[in-house]
Structure 1
Amino acid sequence: MESSWLVLVSLALGLMVGAGFISLLQIAERHGRRASEVVNPAVPDGIDQVLDALDTAAVVLDPSNNVMKTSPAAVSMGMVWNRQIVHPELLDLAAKVRRSGEPIAEDLILSRGPFGDASMRVRVRLATLGTRYVLLLAEDRTEAFRLDEVRRDFVANISHELKTPIAAVGLLAEALNQAADEPAQVRRFASRLTTESGRLTRLTQEIIELSRLQAQDALSEPEDLDIDDIVASAVDQSRVVADAARITLAVGQPSGALVTGDERLLVMAVHNLVANAVHYSAEGSRVGVGVRHHDGVVEVTVTDQGVGIQEADLDRIFERFFRVDQARSRHTGGTGLGLSIVKHIVQIHGGDIRVWSQPGSGSTFTIRLPEASHTALAKTGETP
């Protein structure tokens, strides 16, 4: 009897010790898990989905500045390469955030990618994420800064361009008043006044036209147009000036191609190219205008035998108010807006414009537009 009681007591003590040991293990496990979470916390759930949804660049950095998470925009901007932040400036800001625990926002100029020469202007914001991580957000503001510069340049250029003819009109009006008793002088000053007035009118009209084109994203009522008719109308507008300079306007064979768009705008675009070719060509030379279409693309090419364009200027000739030859443009009444207008017209028609030039050998401008018949077949799925 006594032995049975001793056995029961021993079993009870064993169970109590075992239970106590298991409890100690559970407590130790909980403490270990909590310590692990403090030492090595996980990136909060849902961060991947948030980063994928962001338009701005976003990066999550660990204490060693390894990239744990990144958005597609951060990669495309060249901020992340080989799971590392490319720019040391960003790492310095991350270190400041870790030390202070306070968010930081700054504007920086950074290189675009680890090997690129191009720079970008970015607005960066950094803040702690959890107990160990740093969240970096970057907004590419390069285009916004560029547009601000373009606006400032545009206003400055307009002021400069308007100042010359306005001043000339004022001086000529004063000269007319003083020469009231001299008919020959009156006629001479009146002729110059008419020239300056016409130049001012053209400049104003082209500024208005360019502003309208820049605000227009698409054509309001496009229609199918015969490109040969457009070219003929554009060339006819330059025949008087060309004939006066003994410049031959040679038009190629009809192409029979159709394009979809606005007839007035397309005539203006081709005319601006032809007028430029005439203005920059020597007397007795030749300007060729041709049309061809292939693989659903219609090309209108204007070729001159003029002075040509320096390679350094080729990237700038479509800028507003840019002139290859300032003196000649002033003499011929050029505004520096013609090629910029051509570029915008072609763009809203879904095309592009290209230029080839060699100093001393002339220039060739090519407008490329989608062919209307090709577009229609593509939509219906038919084959020609």
Structure 2
Amino acid sequence: ANKKLNILSSISRHDIANTLTEIFLTLELAQDTIEDTASQELIRETLDGLRIIRHQIEFSRYYQDIGVHAPEWFELDTIITLVVREMALPDITITIETGKVMVYSDPLIQKVFFNLIDNTIRHGKQVTVISFTLMYEGSDLIIVYRDDGAGISSDEKEKIFEKGFGKHTGMGLFLIRDILAITGLSIRECGTPGTGARFEIRVPKGAWRAGVEMGGVEKEGSGLFSFKPDDQ
């Protein structure tokens, strides 16, 4: 039954995406030929709505894949580095200080880090620095993601993980929580509004292991990678 539903969803997404492409082309052609300002504004608003629909379709593809494949061990610095190199990050320096630590997770773990960075770019305002570090609380590993942007208000720290919340599609952080939950990982936002966002991903004992010798409790990880705007 799951196989049939997945096939149906894939076919439906493909057909809808093709239709959206045709509508995009038609509206963009109209935008080039119509000079009336009011009509131009209506076309622009329609295109914005179509882009949201396209993002929602893309979300359904990722959500369908959660839990489909068996969890695996992933090296944190490698996964994060791959995500950073694939994203366009103008004027932002990214520091990755996670050491040779491995995390047991759903294969969509890359999407977790992609969405965190994407959330910063969309809502952080004037962000110049993003960092990934580690902390330890008892037998748990804490992956700390920070930026120097606007931060998240106190009344929205839980709401941001709800489906549909936010100015964009409202799917990114909702998706993150579900991906992490597959292997017992959790996430929370605990930054100070006005000084930047801070997300902590808690990895319980048994779902993480050190690839090299690591010492110290509640200490930041040792630096490995730093990406500056000129590196992109």
* TM-score, normalization by structure 1: 0.41
| Alignment of structure 1 residues 47-126 onto 2, 5 Å | none
Q: CA RMSD in A?
A: 3.5
Q: Deviations over 1:293-312 (max 9, x none)?
A: 56443322211122222212
Residue 297 of structure 1 corresponds to 140
Q: Which runs of 5+ in 1 are unaligned?
A: 1-165, 183-189, 327-333, 375-384
Residue 5 of structure 2 corresponds to none
| Alignment of structure 1 residues 1-384 onto 2, 5 Å | 173-174=26-27, 176-177=29-30, 179-180=32-33, 199-213=52-66, 216=67, 220-238=69-87, 240=88, 242-243=89-90, 246-252=91-97, 254-263=98-107, 265-283=108-126, 285-293=128-136, 295-323=138-166, 326=167, 334-370=168-204, 371-373=207-209
CA separation in 2, counterparts of 1:261 and 1:178?
45
CA separation in 1, counterparts of 2:28 and 2:73?
52
CA separation in 1, counterparts of 2:124 and 2:163?
22
Question: How far is 1:336 from its partner?
Answer: 1.0
* TM-score, normalization by structure 2: 0.64
Q: Deviations over 1:90-110 (max 9, x none)?
A: xxxxxxxxxxxxxxxxxxxxx
Question: How far is 1:281 from its partner?
Answer: 2.6
Conserved 8 A contact 1:248-1:284 = no
**Distance change (3 Å), C-alpha of 1:274 and 1:177:** closer
Question: How far is 1:354 from its partner?
Answer: 1.4
Question: How far is 1:262 from its partner?
Answer: 3.0
**Distance change (3 Å), C-alpha of 1:210 and 1:366:** same
Give identity over the alignment, percent: 23
Q: Which runs of 4+ in 1 moved over 3 A?
A: 169-172, 177-182, 190-200, 291-296, 370-374
CA separation in 1, counterparts of 2:117 and 2:101?
20
Matched AA of 2:101: A
The structure showing larger relative contact order (alpha-carbon pairs under 8 Å, at least 6 residues apart) is 2
**Distance change (3 Å), C-alpha of 1:230 and 1:179:** closer
Q: Deviations over 1:281-333 (max 9, x none)?
A: 3336212222345644332221112222221212211001101xx3xxxxxxx
Matched AA of 1:176: L
Q: Which runs of 5+ in 2 are unaligned?
A: 1-19, 36-42, 211-232
CA separation in 1, counterparts of 2:199 and 2:31?
48
CA separation in 2, counterparts of 1:347 and 1:312?
23
The secondary structure found in structure 2 opposite 1:357 is: coil
**Distance change (3 Å), C-alpha of 1:362 and 1:172:** same
CA separation in 1, counterparts of 2:153 and 2:123?
14
Conserved 8 A contact 1:259-1:298 = no
Question: How far is 1:273 from its partner?
Answer: 0.8
**Distance change (3 Å), C-alpha of 1:294 and 1:224:** farther
Matched AA of 1:234: V
CA separation in 2, counterparts of 1:178 and 1:339?
34
Question: How far is 1:191 from its partner?
Answer: 10
**Distance change (3 Å), C-alpha of 1:368 and 1:197:** same
- The count of aligned residue pairs is 182
CA separation in 2, counterparts of 1:279 and 1:178?
26
Q: Deviations over 1:126-162 (max 9, x none)?
A: xxxxxxxxxxxxxxxxxxxxxxxxxxxxxxxxxxxxx
Conserved 8 A contact 2:77-2:96 = no
User: Which structure has more helix as a fraction of its residues?
Assistant: 1
